[in-house]
Structure 1
Amino acid sequence: MSPTAPHPAPAPHGTHGSPEGDRLVGRSVRRREDPRLLTGRGRFVDDIALPGMLHAQFVRSTVAHARIAELDLDGIREVPGVVAVFDAADLGLADIAARLDRPLHEFVPTDMPILARDRVRYVGEPLAIVVARDAYAAEDGIEAAKVRYDILPPVVSDTAALAPGAPLVHDAAARNTLVDVAMFATEGIDDVFAAAPCVVEVHTTTGRQNALPLETRGAVAAWDAKEDQLVLHTCTQTPHQVRTVAAACLGLDERAVRVVVPDMGGGFGQKCVVGREEIAAAAAALRLGRPVKWIEDRKDALTASFLAREQRYDVRAAFAADGTILALDADVVCDMGAYSCYPFTAGIEPLMASAEMPSVYKVPAYRVRGRAVTTNKAPTAPYRGVSRPQYVMVVERLMERAARELGIDAVEIRRRNVITEFPYTGVNNITYDPGSYLESLDLCAKVLHDEGWYAAKEQAAAEGRHLGIGYSCFSERTGYGSTAFAARKMQVVPGFDISEVRMDTTGALTVTTGTQNHGQSHETTMAQIVADELHVDLGKVRIHQGDTERITYGWGTFASRSIVVGGSAVQRAAAKLGAKLVALGAHLMDAKPEDAELGAGCVRLRAEPERTVSYERIAEAAYLRSNLLPDGIEPGLSATASFDVFDDGTFSNATHGVVVELHEGTGRVEILRYVCVEDCGVAVNPQVVEGQCRGGIAQGIAGALFEQITYDAQGEPSATSFMDYKVPTAWEIPDVAIHHLETPCLFTTTGAKGAGEGGTIGAPAAVLNAVNDALAPTGVELDSTPITPETVQRALESRP
């Protein structure tokens, strides 16, 4: 097993690192984005104002399931300020098509029309786009639409969708099932259960959530006559994929579409898929020959945008008398809403859960069935963690239940089952690289013991109060490469990334990367990697992202891939440029390349380090005095490199420990202490990692205790504003103590693993286990989220 050690204390904040002995990677240098963003100088989609720009909004369905009997748009055209209104027939756009290479009994495709044509399948589905001189007139225009529906019975739950004789959301999807895959089935597993001394079950549901980025979706589309090109400014995590789909839907050459992402206020996965509205806005701009802006309002963001998380698990586990897990048997059903998202399809949640459910534990026998059902709700997109918050919660509940049944301490039963020898190939055919699964568990438990929380729990019980302590131990596969996505049989296979590093005549560096920053501090962390590799001051490095004309290609930012994949590509490109600098520098010093090396902003001779040639002089020769270049070296100073993660990739890991108090009379769950012990390999910037942990934990707590969108029998969503969608504030989110462990990754050039999703993955299980620990005297156990005050209060009232 690889050695694991506490991360060194962060260095003092600063923007400059010594190009020689004081490496920037591993230091909490200040975020370079902050001066711009904190002083209001950021530029977001809604800040864009172009000459002659028009504003768009959408006529949306007010019913969940119906045939469109009549769509009368004439009244809209008479509204003052309205310039045009288009329906599906007017625009004639191709559908968004997401595909898996699976047989029809495993996967049923459901193309998503840009605007609904004959049928609507959820409240909020766009029917027509209204374009007006200002945003107010566009909203007025929407009110003038007249739509007559032939109502169809809606399907509003996974159980209703699967019921015999249920109405079909899509005629091609029998039993309303889009994905039905049995990925693993260990031979003899039923015999294992039959002979096991202890079998425990968990039946759980998790609430439908909104990823809720601070900045809603939006787009500004305009035609550039000089370049003969559509320019689409939009807040997407995947600009190249938006370009590909926009070109296909609009019938344009891909060269004729340029996607530009300005500053972006969050995405969390919701913006890593291609939506309908930005394509419709682009089509309207082409038709009208004028720029068109669309900004999603909060009501539409809550109800009609991509949602996530609504899942049901029926799982059982077999344990030996000593607490060793023997087998895991799971049935996973994910409510994916009305359509498959591009490019991941409706398989994103059930396939993730099925492939990775064994998590950090040595499970010798495994069987799982994963299904995606379609319902009359807004479609599902990835949301930070993608099924892992759910299946980790299920597996951790199984551990807790088995510990109680067998009379084993809840931490001890985990110790007996976590993976400790690496590499470890699991029953799910995934190979786990070295991690600190046991070390993180032990350290987290030690922190809570040393801080006196176990004693505090006993004291509270004596006083009639209800304190509980809960844990979750988990891994997070990060930086999925082409191999992992290909295993899902995706027709569009994400994975690699490409970077170019270019030096100008002043020695300054321009770096492009296909990743897409929307809060992850890429302008800082990527620059740290390049500055270290080329021994330059951080201020000499500038990162460019989010422009399909400037960036060769990239898959954007999702699945904790940016530093794992994008950072490795950046490092490789910087190393290639460094090799060219050494070759040129050695030539200018009449030496051989093997006798030279990079120094502080220079190339120097190994044997005579006082003999140097500066980067500026090398750049002058490369660009302005090419007659000085040796044979075989082309003018200019740039290098391009790619990186992909092959095989099964790399796994970050963590343990979360939570102390809660349950308040009688209100049922309020108060989090008294939250400890996170995380290991994401080499932390390029520890402060950034901590920010990711804290933000993720806040979202995990939100799912555990607060956030949920429900639907009535007619498919009407319950939460259309923040009055109904309960988003936690700083008052409900505790301070989080973060402890770093570091197991360097064997596959990435930087030793880093991903850090974007772990906080969200671990929080629901830890909070739920803590609540159940506090409820132990009542005999009531909760297995579903969100945990409402009403549920807690009823449980407290039922105590003996």
Structure 2
Amino acid sequence: MSGRPGGTGRLVGTSVRRQEDPRLLTGRGRFTDDVHLPGMLYAHFVRSTVASGSVVSLDLSAVREVPGVVAAFDAADLGLGDITARLDRPAGEFVPTAMPVLARDRVRFAGEPLAVVVARDPYAAEDGTEAAKVVHDTRPAVTRDTQALAPGAPLVHDAAAANTLLDVTMFATEGIDSVFDRAHCVVDVETRTGRQNALPLETRGAVAAWDDRDRQLVLHTSTQVPHQVRTVAARCLGLDERAVRVLVPDMGGGFGLKCVVGREEIAVAAAALRLGRPVKWTEDRKEALTASFLAREQHYRVRAAFDAEGRMLGLDADIVCDMGAYSCYPFTAGIEPLMAAAEMPGVYRLPAYRARARAVTTNKAPSAPYRGVSRPQFVLVVERLFERAARELGLDPVEIRRRNLITEFPYTGVNNITYDPGSYRESLDLCERTLREEGWYAARDTAAAEGRHLGIGYACFSERTGYGSAAFAQRKMEVVPGFDLAEVRMDTSGALTVTSGTMSHGQSHETTMAQIAADELGLPLEKVRLHQGDTERVAYGWGTFASRSIAVGGSAVRRAAAELGRKLRHLAAARWGVPPDEVVLGPGAVRRADGTAELSHTELARIAYLATHLLPEGMEPGLTATASFDGVGDGTFSNATHGVVVELHEGTGQVEILRYVCVEDCGVAVNPQVVEGQCRGGIAQGIAGALFEEITYDAQGEPSATGFMDYKVPTALEIPDVTVRHLETPCAFTETGAKGAGEGGTIGAPAAVLNAVNDALRPTGVELNDIPVTPQTIAHALEQHS
């Protein structure tokens, strides 16, 4: 890592104040719904009221007569191409599903868009949708994975036999069945996890307008992947990509829900083109809960073999993920089952492994990635297996984990993934020691003597981050993410603009990316600004998902800054007539190594732009640099242990979380306070999935939750204060030593909470494996015991 500024006062590793906060906390942020253009119209969607059926007729004539309505378009009116995501796998393994922007002859979930109504104000647009006359020929709906896979079940897609979009058996270790036959102990777990919405505060939205001067469709939208939206919009609309510009303003959360391309933003763009006027759509909360992308509904049947000392010998998993009606673009319906099968062994040594991974299609809104992507689910399964094995073998639940954790690195697992160094054992030890020293084990014993129900639970896990092209290619994606680009540009005042292909939706990129670039060039933090979310200014970028921003995007920024630093040193060296290796960067200026001279960034920038006759031979005018970074090998692994103490209350069945400790290691924390914020927010979402949030469906495919009266979201009263302890194992692969940290909180929380609940239920003999855990279930278990 040569060329870095020396001395003290480094920004990386420091909890500097967020650059974004003055704007966002004073109401000066600019979100998609804040975009107002002259002559703007408003869109609302006519949606299917049945989960499965054919469209007999769709009459929009009365819609067009509603006061304020300007136009109404169905699929035939707009003539758009379909959105189709593919894996490069044989037909027997994967079936692609074409998702029309507006449904035509068939609907596959309640809430599927059929037509778009455009009006002078949003109220008239909504009134217009109510005037639409839709006649469906209703068909039986498929609403559960077991129903989808049952012989003779109705088909959601005619091409998908047995309603299966993906069916792959992976890592079938030779002789695995004999491993189970010879094992001292075999335990099994069957687990179901509830369907959730990622629930960003800002729902989806889009504003589209044609710019006649630049001959471009300009699409403002709340997305994590602006370049992917550009690609799909151009294809569906029949335009060159240069004729589509995607702009992302401030974004109020995404969590994976917005890292796929939605139908509505394409339909809004098409309507704007047809009308020659700007069109805006803002998703309401009912649409978000019923018709947006959902996630998390998974069903596991897993067994594990152990020897007499508690060492795991084999793992055999059957994974079924309910992916709803269509594959999302670009990840496809394979994202959840393939992630689960590839990474289930996690932080534990495992000699033998077999996993069957299936994605089934049902008459429900399609699934998209949601923070953690299957890892909250399969970590829960594996951690439940260890709890059961500990009970069967008479071992302490923490000790059995210690005996199985990976401690020698690099470690190549039975899943063909190589894990870089981490602190798996250290994080578990520190987490347990914290709870013991605080007296929680003694408190559990005291509570038991008093007839109260306290429980302690743990979860150990790793978070694979910084996926590169090679890692994504293993899934055989037709569209292979991985690399990212960055540009740094210094102006004549010596200020720096950083352009990144990543896309912040709450991760503090304006601060952390600036910290990286400022450190590399010896600049004050206030001299650096980040520009993102503009496909016209960013050559290409994959956006933000999979905890890639700092690991991949930050590495590209550092490389670009290092290249600009090289130019500054060469320019200064030429001015002083010394070799470049006798010149160092900052802080605050470019100096001779012997301390005899210095030039400010502003002085050098003025030469580069305004006095180019002074440039050394061969140096181009200006001060810009670009660089790319692709994730290395199998990526890099953050790790953590979560420890939870709960009390169960008789009568109400309430689960009260008394203590929550997270010991995490994400390598070098560029901004520790930001990392803690990521941990706390992720833990809140993980607790929500364990105890509160779920969207269910009736037999006709009608969703249960259409608002927050039905979709139970925890408040600050239900989420405990969280203690975050940091360990640091620098990553050897990234430019900053950082690993990703965006998803870890969510990954560990469900398992830790459920294990604590089961520990508290131990005297009752009841054991729970499904989430969310309901108060009714807890209350019933405690009543039976009393």
The answer to whether TM tops 0.5 is yes
- Contact in 2 for aligned 1:314/1:331 (Cα 8 Å): yes
Give distance in 1, aligned partners of 2:152 and 2:450: 55
Q: Is residue 616 from structure 1 mapped to residue 568 from structure 2 by the alignment?
A: no
Q: 2:718 aligns with which of 714, 732, 735?
A: 732
Aligned to 2:29: 42
Give distance in 2, aligned partners of 1:29 and 1:185: 48
Q: 1:389 aligns with which of 363, 371, 376?
A: 376
Aligned to 1:346: 333
Q: Is residue 516 from structure 1 mapped to residue 503 from structure 2 by the alignment?
A: yes
> SS at 2:99's partner residue?
coil
Give distance in 2, aligned partners of 1:19 and 1:307: 48
- Contact in 2 for aligned 1:218/1:278 (Cα 8 Å): yes
Q: Is residue 419 from structure 1 mapped to residue 406 from structure 2 by the alignment?
A: yes
Give distance in 1, aligned partners of 2:581 and 2:761: 68
Give distance in 1, aligned partners of 2:586 and 2:695: 57
Give distance in 2, aligned partners of 1:163 and 1:328: 26
Cα offset for 1:594?
A: 2.0
Q: Is residue 595 from structure 1 mapped to residue 548 from structure 2 by the alignment?
A: no
> SS at 2:520's partner residue?
helix
Aligned to 2:640: 654
Amino acid of the structure 2 residue aligned with 1:748: T
* Matches for 1:154-169 after TM superposition, within 5 Å: 154-169=141-156
Give distance in 1, aligned partners of 2:123 and 2:327: 32
Q: Is residue 369 from structure 1 mapped to residue 341 from structure 2 by the alignment?
A: no
* Matches for 1:507-546 after TM superposition, within 5 Å: 507-546=494-533
Aligned to 1:632: 618
Amino acid of the structure 2 residue aligned with 1:214: L
> SS at 2:359's partner residue?
strand
Give distance in 2, aligned partners of 1:438 and 1:201: 25
Cα offset for 1:184?
A: 1.2
> SS at 1:74's partner residue?
coil
> SS at 1:367's partner residue?
strand
- Contact in 2 for aligned 1:20/1:535 (Cα 8 Å): no
Amino acid of the structure 1 residue aligned with 2:587: A
Q: Which runs of 4+ in 1 moved over 6 A?
A: none
Cα offset for 1:556?
A: 0.4
Cα offset for 1:602?
A: 2.1
Q: Is residue 285 from structure 1 mapped to residue 276 from structure 2 by the alignment?
A: no
Q: Is residue 468 from structure 1 mapped to residue 455 from structure 2 by the alignment?
A: yes
Cα offset for 1:599?
A: 2.2
Cα offset for 1:29?
A: 0.4
Give distance in 2, aligned partners of 1:179 and 1:494: 20
- Number of residue equivalences: 783
Give distance in 1, aligned partners of 2:531 and 2:545: 18
Cα offset for 1:631?
A: 1.1
> SS at 2:785's partner residue?
coil
Unaligned runs of 5+ in 2: none
> SS at 2:605's partner residue?
helix
Q: Is residue 758 from structure 1 mapped to residue 741 from structure 2 by the alignment?
A: no
- Contact in 2 for aligned 1:588/1:613 (Cα 8 Å): no
Identity of aligned residues (%): 78
Aligned to 2:296: 309
Amino acid of the structure 2 residue aligned with 1:679: D
TM-score normalised according to structure 2 size? 0.99
Cα offset for 1:20?
A: 4.8
* Matches for 1:438-457 after TM superposition, within 5 Å: 438-457=425-444
Cα offset for 1:603?
A: 1.8
Aligned to 1:741: 727
- Contact in 2 for aligned 1:478/1:560 (Cα 8 Å): yes
Q: Is residue 783 from structure 1 mapped to residue 769 from structure 2 by the alignment?
A: yes
Amino acid of the structure 1 residue aligned with 2:569: V
Amino acid of the structure 1 residue aligned with 2:348: Y
Cα offset for 1:600?
A: 2.4
- Contact in 2 for aligned 1:54/1:290 (Cα 8 Å): yes
Give distance in 2, aligned partners of 1:388 and 1:699: 13
Aligned to 1:209: 196
> SS at 2:286's partner residue?
helix
Aligned to 1:219: 206
* Matches for 1:705-724 after TM superposition, within 5 Å: 705-724=691-710
Aligned to 1:689: 675
> SS at 2:246's partner residue?
strand
Cα offset for 1:175?
A: 0.1
1:252-277 CA-partner distances (Å, limit 9, x unpaired) = 00000000000000000000000000
Aligned to 1:5: none
Give distance in 1, aligned partners of 2:653 and 2:161: 42
- Contact in 2 for aligned 1:64/1:122 (Cα 8 Å): yes
Cα offset for 1:363?
A: 0.6
Give distance in 2, aligned partners of 1:542 and 1:599: 18
Q: Is residue 793 from structure 1 mapped to residue 776 from structure 2 by the alignment?
A: no
Q: Is residue 666 from structure 1 mapped to residue 648 from structure 2 by the alignment?
A: no
- Contact in 2 for aligned 1:589/1:613 (Cα 8 Å): no
Q: Is residue 358 from structure 1 mapped to residue 345 from structure 2 by the alignment?
A: yes
Cα offset for 1:443?
A: 0.3
> SS at 2:46's partner residue?
strand
Cα offset for 1:19?
A: 8.7
1:739-798 CA-partner distances (Å, limit 9, x unpaired) = 000000010000000000000000000000000000000111000100000111111122
Give distance in 1, aligned partners of 2:374 and 2:141: 25
Give distance in 2, aligned partners of 1:501 and 1:609: 27
- Contact in 2 for aligned 1:422/1:432 (Cα 8 Å): yes
Give distance in 2, aligned partners of 1:762 and 1:325: 20
Give distance in 2, aligned partners of 1:749 and 1:609: 28
Aligned to 1:699: 685
Q: 1:557 aligns with which of 544, 553, 557?
A: 544
Q: Is residue 479 from structure 1 mapped to residue 470 from structure 2 by the alignment?
A: no
1:357-396 CA-partner distances (Å, limit 9, x unpaired) = 0000001000000000000000000000000000000000
- Contact in 2 for aligned 1:659/1:674 (Cα 8 Å): yes
Cα offset for 1:313?
A: 0.1
Cα offset for 1:799?
A: 2.1
Give distance in 2, aligned partners of 1:767 and 1:200: 21
Unaligned runs of 5+ in 1: 1-17
1:174-200 CA-partner distances (Å, limit 9, x unpaired) = 000000011110000100100101000
> SS at 1:498's partner residue?
strand
1:584-605 CA-partner distances (Å, limit 9, x unpaired) = 0111112221221212232211
Q: 1:116 aligns with which of 85, 94, 103?
A: 103
Amino acid of the structure 2 residue aligned with 1:717: P
CA RMSD of aligned residues (A): 0.9
1:28-78 CA-partner distances (Å, limit 9, x unpaired) = 001110100010000001011100000000000000000000101101000
Q: 1:679 aligns with which of 657, 661, 665?
A: 665
Amino acid of the structure 1 residue aligned with 2:353: Y
1:209-231 CA-partner distances (Å, limit 9, x unpaired) = 00000000000000000000000
Give distance in 2, aligned partners of 1:400 and 1:321: 15
Q: Is residue 771 from structure 1 mapped to residue 757 from structure 2 by the alignment?
A: yes
1:439-492 CA-partner distances (Å, limit 9, x unpaired) = 000000000000000000000001000000000000000111111110000000
Amino acid of the structure 1 residue aligned with 2:697: Y
> SS at 2:337's partner residue?
helix
Q: Is residue 103 from structure 1 mapped to residue 90 from structure 2 by the alignment?
A: yes
Cα offset for 1:610?
A: 2.9
- Contact in 2 for aligned 1:496/1:565 (Cα 8 Å): yes
Aligned to 2:317: 330
- Contact in 2 for aligned 1:20/1:599 (Cα 8 Å): no
Give distance in 2, aligned partners of 1:273 and 1:616: 42
Give distance in 1, aligned partners of 2:476 and 2:236: 23
Q: Is residue 153 from structure 1 mapped to residue 140 from structure 2 by the alignment?
A: yes
1:85-123 CA-partner distances (Å, limit 9, x unpaired) = 000000000000100000011000001100000000000
Q: 1:175 aligns with which of 137, 142, 162?
A: 162
Give distance in 2, aligned partners of 1:19 and 1:122: 59
Q: Is residue 430 from structure 1 mapped to residue 429 from structure 2 by the alignment?
A: no
